[in-house]
Amino acid sequence: MIVAKNESYYSGEKYNLLAKKQGYRSRAAFKLIQIDKEENILKKNLNIIDLGCAPGGWSQVVSERLKGTGSIVGIDIVNMPRLKGVEFIQCDLRNFDVSQLKTSIDVVISDIAPNISGVNLVDDANMIDLLEIELSIVDKTLVKGGNYLAKCFQGDSLEYLTFNLKKRFKILKRTKPLASRNISKEVYVIGLNKI
């Protein structure tokens, strides 16, 4: 048990140090880098929304991939320091007005998680609440053929997300990036090619 805990700590710490060294705002950047390497969802000329974007690690990666083409809008209830090439909207996602968007959206990404209580039933219920909000935004903004990447937890929220994405996307994939802590219940689901 101690070995697994140490490995988990080392994995997270390794990516924290790497993020600082490479100028990323969080180790989460490496999760998105790995997912994009596998799935190629972040391409030039795309319009992308980053839900729950603070502190900005994912938005940094998207900005690098877009290379000044397309657009990225980051949305979060928490303030995010300015990032070149990223339009930031500070608001609670429950109150987000999609008419604020200036263009159609090709990709929606989200690394949002609720505050963790340690009680699985509570954490899964809170994650499902967040996923419902995300899916509402996906339904209102994502173009046909678009892609959606979301974090959820192994358990009820994964089942909920998988069930709901099967109705909306032609292809579903699931992954747990190396930058995730070994003991974390987080998993990422990718919906490709919106119906």
Q: Choosing from 67, 84, 144, 151, which is the catalytic residue? A: 151
Residue 49: is it exposed, middle or buried by C-beta count within 10 angstroms (0-12/13-18/19+)? buried
Write a three-state SS string for 75-108.
Answer: EECCCCCCCCCEEEEECCHHHCCHHHCCCCEEEE
Q: Is 151 a catalytic residue?
A: yes
Instruction: Decide: helix, strand or coil at residue 3.
Output: helix
Our measurement of the distance from residue 104's CA atom to the centroid of its chain's CA atoms, rounded to an integer in Å, reads 19
Amino acid in the structure at residue 75 = I
Residue 160: phi and psi, rounded to 5, are -60, -50
- Active-site positions read 151
